[in-house]
Structure 1
Amino acid sequence: MDLDIEIDGWPRSHDWADLAERACEAAEKVAPELANQRLSASVLFTVDEEVQTLNREWRTKDRPTNVLSFPMMTRAELLALAPDGGPEMLGDIALAHETCAREAADKGVAIERHAMHLVLHGLLHLAGHDHEISDGDAETMEALEIKALALLGLPDPYGDRDNQELA
């Protein structure tokens, strides 16, 4: 999958584009349907105000949130997508800096680690996974996130499946 990454309002002290690319590579390993070379997605690292506007306009929730995902195809369409053909836009992801920074601080983790998790989370939403449908769907999505983060050497962000740091 090809990512179109835009960074606006996040500190330049970290390579957010590289972080998103690494998250994408891990997501492709745990959700191989994302590895289709025809796919592209946009990732916007932005500020709370912009995410709040998107959340209000598209979800009628007038507040910022950590990450928003806007899929442009259904899971069935993604799974049926042939490897040959023209490019296909999977969807868009937007991360809110202030909310991500606050959540990372509350969790006692680096913002880079939290942002990595949120990019993975967003990509899995674009792939049609949804933790809000049922407990079973939530467990499936969390397991994929945990597995992808483990591939990146990061621990279980939920703390209920693996209580040890992963190498």
Structure 2
Amino acid sequence: MTLDVLIDSDPEWDSSIDWAALARGAAEAAIAESAFPQLALGERPVEMSIRLANDEEVHALNAEWRGKDKATNVLSFPMADAEEMDEGSGPELMLGDIILAHGVCASEAAEKSIPLERHATHLLVHGTLHLLGYDHMDDGSAADMESREIRALSRLGISDPYAGETL
């Protein structure tokens, strides 16, 4: 898997954390729990981009692409469809881009009393599943996506982030 991780020059993202390794683990775990686990096996080259940004950048992207005038924790921009992901071989598959907003992520992590890197891992799993075609637009798809997130995070030694919550 080719994974480009771009970190905002803003010093908010802790440079002592290996964000590239964290992102790779999250992406691989999400892919392994998807309907396309063959992508995790390296049978077909896969590429994705992850940007660790500030709230202002994510706010602008959220307004432009989703019509929502606010920052959000994670944005995903899929570039492949299910048919392309299901092909066993072929040229490198560009899954898409994921962007995290530091301030929103940090605030949510603080509210949950968990480390930022743990919450960011969850959001990267969530974002990767969006790149793979999953969504949470209705109860059934939300439950499916949530169960995949829980299994992917378990692969990384992270407990169920939804424990005690209801859909």
Q: TM-score, normalised by structure 1?
A: 0.89
Q: Where does residue 90 of structure 1 map in the other structure?
A: 95
CA distance in 1, matches of 2:133, 2:91: 21
Distance in 2 of aligned mates of 1:49 and 1:15: 23
Equivalent of 1:153 in 153, 157, 162: 157
Decide which moves more: 93-102 or 67-76: 67-76
Structure 2 counterpart of 1:117, which letter? H
Residue 21 (structure 2) aligned to one of 2, 18, 43: 18
Aligned counterpart in structure 1 of residue 133 of structure 2, from 124, 128, 135: 128
Pair 33,64 (structure 1): closer, same or farther in 2 beyond 3 Å? farther
In structure 1, distance between residues paired with 2:27 and 2:65: 24
Task: Give me the CA root mean square deviation.
Answer: 1.5
5+ long unaligned stretches in structure 1: 162-167
The count of aligned residue pairs is 158
1: CA distance, partners of 2:110 / 2:4: 28
Q: How does the TM-score come out when normalised to structure 2?
A: 0.89
What do the CA deviations read for 1:19-71 (whole angstroms, capped 9, x no partner)?
A: 10111221232121542532211000111011011111111111100000000
Q: Deviations over 1:65-92 (max 9, x none)?
A: 000000012233322x232x22121110
The runs of at least 4 consecutive aligned structure 1 residues that moved more than 4 Å come to none
Residue pairs, 1:30-49, within 5 angstroms: 30-31=33-34, 32-35=37-40, 37-49=44-56
- Distance of 2:63 and 2:114 partners within structure 1: 29
CA distance in 1, matches of 2:78, 2:150: 22
Contact 2:76 2:97 in 1 (8 A): yes
User: Higher mean Cα deviation, 143-152 or 7-16?
Assistant: 7-16
Amino acid at match of 2:24: E
1:50–1:20 distance in 2 versus 1, CA, 3 Å: same
**How far apart in 1 are the matches of 2:129 and 2:83?**
14
Q: Percent sequence identity over matched residues?
A: 53
